[in-house]
Amino acid sequence: MKPIPQARQEAIPSLNPAPANHQQTCSEVKVFLVGAGPGDAELLTLRAARLLQCADVIVYDHLVSDDVLNYAAPHAQRIYVGKQTNCHTLPQQQINQLLVDLAKQYQNHPPHDDACKHKLTIAGAHQVIVRLKGGDPFIFGRGGEEVEALAEQGIAFEVVPGITAASGVASYAGIPLTHRDFAQSCVFTTGHLKDGSLNLDWDALSRPHQTVVIYMGLQALPEITRQFLLHGAPENTPVALVEQGTSAQQRVLCGTLTTITDLCRALGLKSPSLIIIGQVVTLHRKLQWFHNQQAQ
């Protein structure tokens, strides 16, 4: 694990203090559900970076990059609860319970250190538990279920939004999600349903003049493209796959509904990858600005 960049550590607390409404409450322990963004640590919000620096415990999943974790204070306890499709490290129910248990355990810890004043200013709490999740915690992140569990136990919490994969990845791929010439709306959907089925509203998704962004859709790509074609989308509808978007390993693959599955197989794209379907994808060629390390 790389050390926390010194300049960053010093720079962030010296920025304007957190807004007043974050300073009003002063409970002993608070759980912060924090969005870590899509990968590039520069995309963290100021609030996320500040909270990471004063967290006592950080519970994080597999989408959180090392660069983001490097913002954590060295003393912070780090608990990995990562989940990948078909490879659950901890079932969701147990993650919910872990957050509740940590909050109760820390409730009984008396505040003891000088950092306490700093924590009260930043976090309104003596003890700070950060639940760090990739992207935005309330977009396909099951963040709602985690804070429900906290609310049911009367545990104080706060939600810190993050840049969701669709925004971050599309920006770094040079694909505007809306554009007056091509798409007047944008839909975020999932390609991985709870029961394993893929029972989406294909009629609505296949309509023109919109952009469809599919999270967790890589495995189901052949079925997704098949359904779009079955529901009337033209064969040449542009499709992009973006693997590890915003990171130095980002790969962007562009094709059409009829070609993308074979291209994907040929290049062996892996998770996390985002699928973007719609005419806006054609802008990638002109607007790509982010070049990963391999391309430099």
- Select the span of 14-22, 153-161, 237-245, 262-270 touching ligand SAH (CB under 6 A): 237-245
- Which residues, 6+ apart, have CB-to-CB distance to 159 below 8 Å? 32, 33, 137, 138, 143, 147
- Cα distance between residue 242 and residue 149, in whole Å: 33
Give whole-number Cα distances, 224 to 3, 203, 208, in Å: 42, 12, 16
Q: Is 135 in the site for ligand SAH (CB under 6 A)?
A: yes
Q: Is 134 in the site for ligand SAH (CB under 6 A)?
A: yes
Give whole-number Cα distances, 205 to 209, 212, 214, 227, in Å: 10, 7, 10, 10
Q: Is 242 in the site for ligand SAH (CB under 6 A)?
A: yes
- Cα distance between residue 296 and residue 201, in whole Å: 41
Q: Is 136 in the site for ligand SAH (CB under 6 A)?
A: yes
Q: Is 99 in the site for ligand SAH (CB under 6 A)?
A: no
User: Can you tell me which of 124, 161, 238, 272 binds ligand SAH, judged by CB under 6 A?
Assistant: 272
- Select the span of 49-57, 116-124, 230-238, 268-276 touching ligand SAH (CB under 6 A): 268-276
Scan residues 167-186 and list those touching ligand SAH (CB under 6 A): 169
CB 99 within 8 A of CB 77: no
- Cα distance between residue 186 and residue 210, in whole Å: 5
**CB closer to ligand SAH, 126 vs 133:** 133
Work out the number of other CB atoms within 10 angstroms of the CB of residue 154. 7
The catalytic position among 30, 40, 56, 61 is 61
Report the Cα 38 to chain-centroid distance in Å: 5
Q: Is 255 in the site for ligand SAH (CB under 6 A)?
A: no
Q: Which of 274, 283, 286 is nearest to 180 (CA)?
A: 283
User: Can you tell me which of 41, 139, 175, 187 binds ligand SAH, judged by CB under 6 A?
Assistant: 139
Scan residues 32-71 and list those touching ligand SAH (CB under 6 A): 38-39, 63
117 is catalytic: no
61 is catalytic: yes
User: Residues with catalytic annotation?
Assistant: 61, 83
- Which positions lie near ligand SAH, rule CB under 6 A? 38-39, 63, 133-136, 139-141, 164-165, 169, 215-216, 242, 244-246, 271-274
